[in-house]
Amino acid sequence: MSPRAEASSRKQSRRVAAWIYAVINPIIESLLREQAFLDVGNLTWRSYSGRCEMIRNIQDYVEAFQWPNYQTFLAEHSKSPFQVGFREHDNYIKVLNEIATEVFRIFLGPGQFRRAMDNLIAIFRSSQGDSGAINTPPDSPDVLWDEIAQHVINNSQTLPSHYVIAKFWNSSGRELLRFRTTTEFEPVLRASNALLGHSRSLSQSLERFRLKLSRDYDVPAAPVPGLSFDE
């Protein structure tokens, strides 16, 4: 490499380092985390927001003050598959949020799920006697129903004891998780699997791209203490 080309590469390497450390690495980490959630059927969907709280759009996986680096990464790779891949990822989440919200509404409408839930709550309360309070007094019944349906959507197996509905859920929740095999729930599983497949493919592509950048610009894949790009 000529001295001029070498100098140019050194200059570029600082930008590449910014992309790797502030954009690519956080996105890969976040994608791996969302895959871990989806692998066990936990959408992290919340009834109060109607969306997956821990599974977010790609830009949300980058710290806000690093968004300029994210934007330059996209601008410099406008013809790469990442632009499309990121958009598709976000669209899969949008669809999943919409479907989960719709299934939540179906669950809480008049139907089998609602009847089963009310029945289990009544049985739990009668078995508990005076200590049968499932939730704290200020909560309306709606809050309890919302939370129970949310745990079915998120495939919650057991809840920590300090969660107010833990006693009910850990004794009766398995009965309600059976509703995950009903036809009403199928669209959620399909949308979740579609997102999982895309997320895996995207994280693998980003890992390969990081390796290429790392080789081409001699930038380590993670910051190394004492190694700077200032010279």
Partner 1 sequence: MYPNPSIPVQQVLILDTGPLWELILYASIRDLRFGRLRSDLRYLRADTHYDAFTAFIAKFSRRITTPHVVSEIGSKVIKTRPSEGQAPIWGIVHEEFRAMRMDETLFKLLEMPLPLVAKVGATDASIVELGLNYGRTKSLVVSVDSALIAECKRAGLDAKDIWEILAA
Binding site for partner 1 (CB under 8 A): 21-22, 25-26, 29-30, 32-33, 36, 48, 53-54, 56, 60-64, 133, 135-136, 138-139, 159-164, 166-167
CB neighbours of 45 closer than 8 A, spacing ≥ 6?
Answer: 51, 52, 53, 97, 100, 101, 104, 150, 153, 154
Residue whose CB is less far from partner 1, 61 or 185: 61
Question: How far, in Å, are 12, 148, 199, 223, 224 from residue 211 at the CA level?
Answer: 16, 44, 18, 14, 16
Residue whose CB is less far from partner 1, 95 or 164: 164
Residue whose CB is less far from partner 1, 110 or 225: 225
- As beta bridge partners, residue 46 has 51
CA dihedral of 60, 61, 66, 71, whole degrees rounded to 10:
-70
Residue whose CB is less far from partner 1, 1 or 64: 64
Smallest gap from residue 219 Cβ to partner 1 (A): 16
Residue whose CB is less far from partner 1, 6 or 29: 29
Question: How far, in Å, are 9, 88, 160, 215 from residue 141 at the CA level?
Answer: 63, 38, 21, 58
Smallest gap from residue 132 Cβ to partner 1 (A): 13
184's tokens: 């009403």
Smallest gap from residue 31 Cβ to partner 1 (A): 10
Residue whose CB is less far from partner 1, 3 or 138: 138
Coil vs helix vs strand at 46:
strand
Smallest gap from residue 15 Cβ to partner 1 (A): 18
183's tokens: 């036809």
Q: Are 177 and 155 in contact (CB under 8 A)?
A: yes
Smallest gap from residue 66 Cβ to partner 1 (A): 8
Smallest gap from residue 187 Cβ to partner 1 (A): 25
- The candidate with the shortest Cα–Cα distance to 73, out of 143, 15, 2, is 15
CA distance 106 to 213: 48
